[in-house]
Structures are given as structure tokens and as C-alpha cells.
Structure 1
Amino acid sequence: MKFDTAYSLSLDDKLSIYDVRDLNFDETADFDSDKDSFLCPNDACRAVFDADNVLSTFNAKNVNYLRTPHFKNKPGTRHIDGCRYASSQKTATGENDDEREDNFPSEFVLTRRQYERKTPVVGIDESVPQEPTKAPSNRFTTSHNDGDTTPDKTSVFAHPVECYVSNIDDKDKLKAMPLKIGEHTATYWAFFKKIEYLQDNKGLIYWGKIKEIKDYTSSFRIDFEKKVWLDKKPYSVNVYLSKKLIENYRKRSAFLEQIKAAASSERPLYCFFYGVTPQLKQVPSKKNPEQTFGVFSANIENLDHLIIREAPGME
């Protein structure tokens, strides 16, 4: 059985698997999921067992992934009767339960969630905090729901993107699930807009198949395969990632690893981004600088709101 949320013993808080991934790659955070202990998110269930009754993670550290990240029970993980996180015999050992994301956040929060470590983790080889016999806290924060429900908000862009990508074959579900970003509320289906239709609405999550990634060593440009039609003319679309933006990014190493691999990859890749809408610009021609040509382009302003990934079944 897979689930999206678990209780982090070191942070004394409930984290989604996407929070864990975000922290693992964050060079400003003192966090390593391999050195943490993750327990059942059900408060009543967690209070019954010792801190060694842990869960495992799936795709918590892979920079690129195809199968949905999640927490899951280990063979020896125990739960109280009636806990919805208990594995059935059919799903405990199966590998067909991680094909899609079922925990749809109803809001994508633009302000990044702040995490505060409550219990220091010891030593590089230790996997539990200094007081392993101490009962886990039942403390809550306003960013998460009480009880054993999963969070209905997320500040990690990968979460709504995974919901959309892994459920792309179920349009009815995507059209039924609500999503709020800022003051705008729509369905997942309406919020994700193909790049060639970017003129339809502003403030959406735009996505498209990548034609090429231009590697300028310290900056990058992502060119999309599809063009935008305006006044019966096709225009190319791209987004630019500046040197300053990348150098100041808190997940710089992981991002550079990912985009450099993507630039040389022959596999079909897609780019999703939020926060900017490419606008028609006139740029000078390389062959003749005195001449210009039109292109829809935007400078990405926040790398937390951009994802490059494989997305089978998108087109």
C-alpha cells in the first residue's frame, strides 16, 4: 500500500513525500531522509507503537522518476485495527499500486513551507534520534489536517504536476478535482494548459514537449516543440533560465544534474512551469542583427515552479 503522507520523527511533523524530496535536494536544509524515521500518519495508530515501527520511502531521492513517489509499509510495519494505512495481503507486496497519484492537493501554495527541526539526528550511521524510546508527539501545525487525513495543500510544485501527469488518462477525474492557486480556483484539467494555447488565459500552469534545451554553460533556454499561432503565423515558444537564477537556487546541484542530463537526452521530455506567461517579443536575427523575428518568450522567475520530466501518455 502506498500513501502520500508520513510523520517525520526528526521534524516532529507530518510531511508529504514531496516535502521529503524537496528537503533532500535543498542545500540550505539539514535533512537526509535516510537518517530520519517515518511513522504512520494516523495519530492514534502512531501513539500505540514505538519509534522503531517505521515506514519506507519510494523515489524520495531520485532526481528523475517515472513511478509516483510515496511512503509504504515495510514487511514488519504494524498498525492498529482499522488504520487505513495497514497493508492488505494483495497490496503489501504488489508493485501496481504506485502508478498514479491519488492524493490531490486542493491548493498549491506559492509561499514555500518552512520546516523546523525539533530533534537533532545523531551521527552519519544513525537512523533514529537520540531518544529512540520517546513516544512520537501528536503535535500539529496549521499547514496540515488533524487525524489521519492527507494534507489538502502543498507548496511543492511536483505534487500537483504528478497528479496531472499520472492521471492524464482519466479526464473525468481531472475535470472533477479542484485546484486553487492564489486567488484563482479551477479544476486540474483547466489549470494545466498546453503551451500552444498559452494565449487563452494567463496565470495557468503551462506545459509542453521540449524540442531542445540550449546549454549556455551557466544559463539555459528551453525551446518547445509546439508553436503558437497568432494572426495566422506560427511563433516559436521558449523560456529562459538565467545564470543568477540558477546560482542562487537552493537546489542548484540537483537542478544542474537534471537539466544537463535532459539537454543531452534523446528521450521525450516535457516542461511544466507556473508564474510567468511567455509574451511575443522581437529578437535580432543571428545572421542579420538588423533584422528581427517574433518569438513567445519568458524569463523564469522561480525554479521551484518549473519541472522537466518524462511524462508518458501526455500526447
Structure 2
Amino acid sequence: MKFETAYSLTLDDKLSIYDVRDLNFDETADFDSDKDSFLCPNDACRAAFDTGSNTLSTFNAKNVNYQRTPHFKNKTSTRHIDGCRYGSTHKTATGENDDEREENFPSEFVLTRRQYERKAPLTGAEGNIPQDAAKTPSNRVSISHSTNDSTPDKTSVFAHPVECYVSNIDDKDKLKSMPLKIGEHTATYWTFFKKIEYLQDNKGLIYWGKIKAIKDYTSSFRIDFEKKVWLDKKPYSVNVYLSKKLIENYRKRTAFLEQIKAAVDSERALYCFFYGVTPELKQVPSKKNPEQTFGVFSANIENLDHLIIREAPGVD
């Protein structure tokens, strides 16, 4: 059985698998999921067993690029109390691989990144750890997570709503019924995700499209989209630019560079999803004749946390 939320013994909090991925790649965070212990998110179930041995495993927690939905899953040795819904071994009647679809739709994508505090008991004068130190509540500035075992309905990790959309692209009725809030705007997943060629329809959406090419300028990149925008019966190319400063200051710089450099030479069909900017029509000088200009819809990406390059089979 796969599930998206687990209790982190290191952070003393319930994390989604997307939180774990985000922390694994974050160069400013002292975190390694291989060194953590993940336990059942059901409080009663977790309390019934020894935390040192009754752990869960992760799937796609560290892969920069993944094709199947990340999740936590039970080990053969993992035990659950009677009635715990995470103890089920039920498989779908159709035999569908349970890795292929994200079923936990967050109802809100929070633009402020969640902050985590490691559980760090203070050491006494003689080197002993006070018994109550580990029980002291942490003062976290974070997304509000419920104390029960249900999946959090908010996320600050962009990969989560994108995975919901991509992995359920064959179920348009579900995408049209699931609500999503970003900032002050609430709509359905189907409405929020807008193909790049229709970016003029509305601002403030999650735009996406198939990548035509990625221009590598050594320290910066430009992503060109395959589809064009039509304006006044004329087609215009669309691109987004990732500046040197943006990349250098990115907390997941190493993972991002690994991903985008692999994408530059990839022969696979790749797609770019981004939020926070809307490409606008700009006049760009021609390389052959700088005195002449041509129109292109372009935008400078402002936050790499809100951009993803990935495979997305079936979206076209």
C-alpha cells in the first residue's frame, strides 16, 4: 500500500513525501531521508509499536527525475493496529500499479515555503539529555497540519499539485471537480493548469507546455516552448528565462542544475510547468540585424521553487 504522509522521527512532525523530496535537495537544510525514520501517520498506531523498528520506506524520495508518483510504503516488517487504514494490503481490482496516480489532492498551494525545525533536545550540564526535552513543542512557522492521520490539505511544494494534474490527466472529470486555491484565487485543477498557447486567457495560472529547446548559456538558461501564441492572426514564440543570479542563489541549486543540464540533451518529450509570472509580448533585437526587432512572449522566472521540468505522458 502506498500513502503520501508519514511521521518523521527526526523532525517530530508529519511530512508529505513531497516535503521529504524538497528537504533532500535543499542545500540549506541538514536533512537526509535515508538517515531519518518514517513512521505511521496514525497517532494511535504509531504509539502502539517500538519506533525504532516499525518503520516505513520511501519511493522516489531522492530521484531528481521520476516517472512514477513518489510515496511512502510499508515494509514487509511494518505492523499496524487493527483498523489502521495504512495497514491495508488491498490492490485495485484492475491490477493497476499503485505507483502511477496521485490520489491526495491538496486544496491549497501555499506560496510561502514551509519551514521545518529539527527535534534537538538540549544537553544538560553533565551531558545528559533532559527527559522532557524531546516532548517540548516546537515553535514552527509552517503550514498548519492537522493532528490526525489524514493527508494535509495544503502544500508549499509545487511538485505536489503538478503530480496530481499530470498523473490524473486521463480523468478530466476529477480534475474539473477538485478545488485548488492559490493566493486569493480559487478554481479547479482543470482551470488552474493552462496550456502555454492560451496564456492570454487569464493571468495568475499555472502555465505549462512541451519544451522545444533549452538554451544553455553556461550560467543561465532559456526554455523555449513548442507551441506558439496567436495574436492578431500572427504566431509568436514563447519562452521563459532563468537568470544566473536566480540559479546561483537557489537553495536546491545542485539538483536543479543536474536536472536542467540533463534536459538540454534529452531526447525524451519534456514539459515545463511554472507559476508566478505570465509571459508578455516583448520586442527583441534580431541577432542578424540588431536594428530590427521581432515579437516574442517572454518572462523572467522569479522563483525556481515554482518551476518544474518533467515528463508528462498523456497531457497532449
Q: TM-score range by the shorter chain?
A: over 0.9
Q: Partner of 2:10 in structure 1?
A: 10
Q: Partner of 1:291 in structure 2?
A: 292
Aligned to 1:297, the other structure's residue is in SS state: strand
For 2:24, give the aligned amino acid.
Answer: N
C-alpha distance in 1 between matches for 2:265 and 2:293: 29
Q: Cα deviation per residue 1:124-170 (whole Å; 9 max; x = unaligned)?
A: xxxxxx99xx9x96979762112111100000000000000000000
Residues 13 and 139 in structure 1, CA contact (< 8 A), matched pair in contact too: no
For 2:279, give the aligned amino acid.
Answer: P
Aligned to 1:259, the other structure's residue is in SS state: helix
* Displacement of 1:119: 3.8
Q: In the alignment, is residue 268 of structure 1 matched against residue 269 of structure 2?
A: yes
Q: Partner of 1:300 in structure 2?
A: 301
C-alpha distance in 1 between matches for 2:90 and 2:71: 18
C-alpha distance in 2 between matches for 1:233 and 1:167: 33
C-alpha distance in 1 between matches for 2:161 and 2:42: 23
Q: In the alignment, is residue 70 of structure 1 matched against residue 61 of structure 2?
A: no
Q: Over aligned residues, Cα RMSD in angstroms?
A: 2.0
Q: Partner of 2:209 in structure 1?
A: 208
Q: Partner of 1:59 in structure 2?
A: 60
Matches within 5 A, 1:12-91: 12-51=12-51, 52-88=53-89, 90=91
Q: In the alignment, is residue 241 of structure 1 matched against residue 242 of structure 2?
A: yes
For 1:207, give the aligned amino acid.
Answer: W
C-alpha distance in 2 between matches for 1:107 and 1:40: 24
Stretches of 4+ aligned residues off by more than 4 angstroms: 136-142
Q: Cα deviation per residue 1:66-114 (whole Å; 9 max; x = unaligned)?
A: 00000000001000111010032647xx881111000000000000000
C-alpha distance in 2 between matches for 1:242 and 1:95: 42
Aligned to 1:85, the other structure's residue is in SS state: helix
Matches within 5 A, 1:151-166: 151-166=152-167
Residue identity over aligned pairs, in percent, reads 87
Residues 282 and 295 in structure 1, CA contact (< 8 A), matched pair in contact too: yes
Aligned to 2:163, the other structure's residue is in SS state: helix
For 2:295, give the aligned amino acid.
Answer: G
C-alpha distance in 2 between matches for 1:139 and 1:73: 28
Q: Partner of 1:124 in structure 2?
A: none
List alignment gaps of at least 5 residues for structure 2: 122-127
Judging changes above 3 Å, is the alpha-carbon distance between structure 1 residues 170 and 299 closer, same or farther for their aligned structure 2 residues?
same
Residues 73 and 87 in structure 1, CA contact (< 8 A), matched pair in contact too: no
Judging changes above 3 Å, is the alpha-carbon distance between structure 1 residues 297 and 165 closer, same or farther for their aligned structure 2 residues?
same
Q: Cα deviation per residue 1:267-293 (whole Å; 9 max; x = unaligned)?
A: 000000000000000000000000000
Matches within 5 A, 1:248-259: 248-259=249-260
List alignment gaps of at least 5 residues for structure 1: 121-129
Judging changes above 3 Å, is the alpha-carbon distance between structure 1 residues 314 and 139 closer, same or farther for their aligned structure 2 residues?
farther
Q: Partner of 2:124 in structure 1?
A: none
Residues 106 and 180 in structure 1, CA contact (< 8 A), matched pair in contact too: yes
C-alpha distance in 1 between matches for 2:63 and 2:211: 21
C-alpha distance in 1 between matches for 2:106 and 2:9: 23
For 1:105, give the aligned amino acid.
Answer: P
Aligned to 1:20, the other structure's residue is in SS state: helix
* Displacement of 1:207: 0.1
Q: Partner of 1:111 in structure 2?
A: 112
- Structure 2-normalised TM-score? 0.92
* Displacement of 1:197: 0.2
Q: In the alignment, is residue 311 of structure 1 matched against residue 312 of structure 2?
A: yes
C-alpha distance in 2 between matches for 1:137 and 1:302: 36
Q: In the alignment, is residue 180 of structure 1 matched against residue 181 of structure 2?
A: yes
Judging changes above 3 Å, is the alpha-carbon distance between structure 1 residues 160 and 139 closer, same or farther for their aligned structure 2 residues?
farther
Q: Partner of 2:125 in structure 1?
A: none
Judging changes above 3 Å, is the alpha-carbon distance between structure 1 residues 158 and 203 closer, same or farther for their aligned structure 2 residues?
same
- Structure 1-normalised TM-score? 0.92
Aligned to 2:241, the other structure's residue is in SS state: strand
Q: More displaced, 22-31 or 46-55?
A: 46-55
